[in-house]
Amino acid sequence: MGSKDLKFNSKTIHGGQHPDKAYGAVMPPIYQTSTYAQTTPGGHKGFEYSRSGNPTRTALENSLASIENGKYGLAFASGLAAMDAVIKLLNPGDEVVSTNDLYGGSYRLFKQIFEKYGITFHFIGMQDPGKIEGYINDKTKLIWVETPTNPMMNIINIKAVSDMARKHGVLLAVDNTFATPYIQQPLDLGADIVMHSATKYLGGHSDVVVGGLVVKDKTLADKLYFIQNASGAVCGPMDSFLVLRGIKTLHVRMQRHNENGIAIANFLADHPKIEKVYWPGFEDHPNHNVAKEQMKGFGGMISFITKGSNYDDAIKIVEKLQLFTLAESLGGVESLAGHPASMTHASIPKEEREKSGVVDALIRLSVGIEDVDDLIADLEQAIG
């Protein structure tokens, strides 16, 4: 049975994996080597230099391709290195239409690195995909979507955006870091490129920084591979191994993230001191129906605001939390809390940030897989 025919919960464990040819090791060995012996110039066994390729990285790249229902995977030194490779497909004069409410580091990469090379980015709300069309012209080469968005948990209809991208001959890339392929598979909905910060749910244990891309099209894969090799921000063998190990439990972790997410979103919504909870599982979430259709569960990311609170109140709450660790990042087994305005989104100017709802009072939770009663008790004591 080829791993293509497997169901998702088996692909996480077996997708693109084979026992090692040398000794039958069940886990891909960590090939901690920069180079490979050749019998004659060019006479090698498929690997010649570890920037160009490394067997442990190949195992991860195959696994990524398998779980995202793609054909080609590429693993990078970080999520941002993966994004950097995608934008390097473009030329000066090209334009990109991007989600406005996106990971702060993505915004910084677009604005502060690539704009100076003559690429123009339009940051817009995409909850109504019809709005995107007004920003597409002859120079538009790429649409960049993040859904659910970070940290406002807006939902963008991937199928609708991909139909529009196709109509205009524009590439569509989806940052699938928050949802993971357990929850949504953008390539099946028509996206051309899926991007991951594998640092988050795919790795799942807050012990590694890695990025990934998955595509179906061979020509696109070749162009991205050329950039990966030419620019060199590759994922090392040890880090590849750690993410491979993480992916093996992705489905069981995501199931619990989903369950704990439901319980915590409802706890917060019912709490008398809470003003607003941002979570796509609520029926009154503006794009709840799209979320229900394109996602399997609503994940463990939740943002909220307490009544009448300001910057200082939000800081007090995140400082009081004990089981939720105050930290950047998300998607690990342990629960984390963050204050987007001063942490993940500090690199976005205040007016720009507040336009998309990232106000000073906003708190973001990455709900882990601990016992949910303990998590709720911690929130209870911190919110007071």
Residue (114 or 178) nearer to ligand PLP, CB: 178
Strand 193-197 to 171-175 pairing: parallel
> Known catalytic residues?
51, 103, 175, 200
**How far apart are the C-alpha atoms of 361 and 336, rounded to whole Å?**
17
Residue (3 or 98) nearer to ligand PLP, CB: 98
Q: Are 336 and 365 within 8 A, CB to CB? A: yes
**How far apart are CB 197 and ligand PLP at their closest, in Å?**
3
**How far apart are the C-alpha atoms of 188 and 190, rounded to whole Å?**
5
Q: Is 106 in the site for ligand PLP (CB under 6 A)?
A: yes
Q: Are 304 and 278 within 8 A, CB to CB? A: yes
Residue (187 or 195) nearer to ligand PLP, CB: 195
**How far apart are CB 175 and ligand PLP at their closest, in Å?**
5
Exactly one of 103, 107, 123, 241 binds ligand PLP (CB under 6 A); that residue is 103
Q: Is 228 in the site for ligand PLP (CB under 6 A)?
A: no
What tokens does 268 get? Answer: 């917060």
Q: Is 345 in the site for ligand PLP (CB under 6 A)?
A: no
The number of C-alpha atoms within 13 Å of 47 and in the hemisphere containing its C-beta is 16
Taking the CB of residue 15, how many other CB atoms lie within 10 A of it?
22
Q: Is 105 in the site for ligand PLP (CB under 6 A)?
A: yes
- Which stretch, 100-108, 112-120, 230-238, 295-303, contacts ligand PLP (CB under 6 A)? 100-108
H or E stretch at 62: helix 55-67
Exactly one of 57, 200, 353, 364 binds ligand PLP (CB under 6 A); that residue is 200
**How far apart are the C-alpha atoms of 301 and 280, rounded to whole Å?**
9
What tokens does 252 get? Answer: 């069981």
- Which stretch, 153-161, 172-180, 227-235, 364-372, contacts ligand PLP (CB under 6 A)? 172-180
126: amino acid identity, one letter: M
Q: Is 147 in the site for ligand PLP (CB under 6 A)?
A: no
CA dihedral for 277, 278, 284, 288, sign (positive or negative): negative
By beta-carbon distance, which residue lies closest to ligand PLP? 79
Helix, coil or strand: residue 101 = coil
Residue (157 or 366) nearer to ligand PLP, CB: 366
Q: Is 212 in the site for ligand PLP (CB under 6 A)?
A: no
Q: Is 144 in the site for ligand PLP (CB under 6 A)?
A: no
Residue (146 or 360) nearer to ligand PLP, CB: 146
**How far apart are the C-alpha atoms of 166 and 224, rounded to whole Å?**
20
Q: Is 95 in the site for ligand PLP (CB under 6 A)?
A: no
- Nearest CA-CA partner of 302 in 274, 323, 322: 274
Q: Are 111 and 100 within 8 A, CB to CB? A: no
Residue (63 or 197) nearer to ligand PLP, CB: 197
Q: Is 80 in the site for ligand PLP (CB under 6 A)?
A: yes
What tokens does 101 get? Answer: 């409410």
**How far apart are CB 24 and ligand PLP at their closest, in Å?**
33
Exactly one of 61, 95, 101, 146 binds ligand PLP (CB under 6 A); that residue is 146
User: What is the contact surface with ligand PLP in residues (CB under 6 A)?
Assistant: 78-80, 103, 105-106, 146, 150, 175, 177-178, 197, 199-200, 209, 211
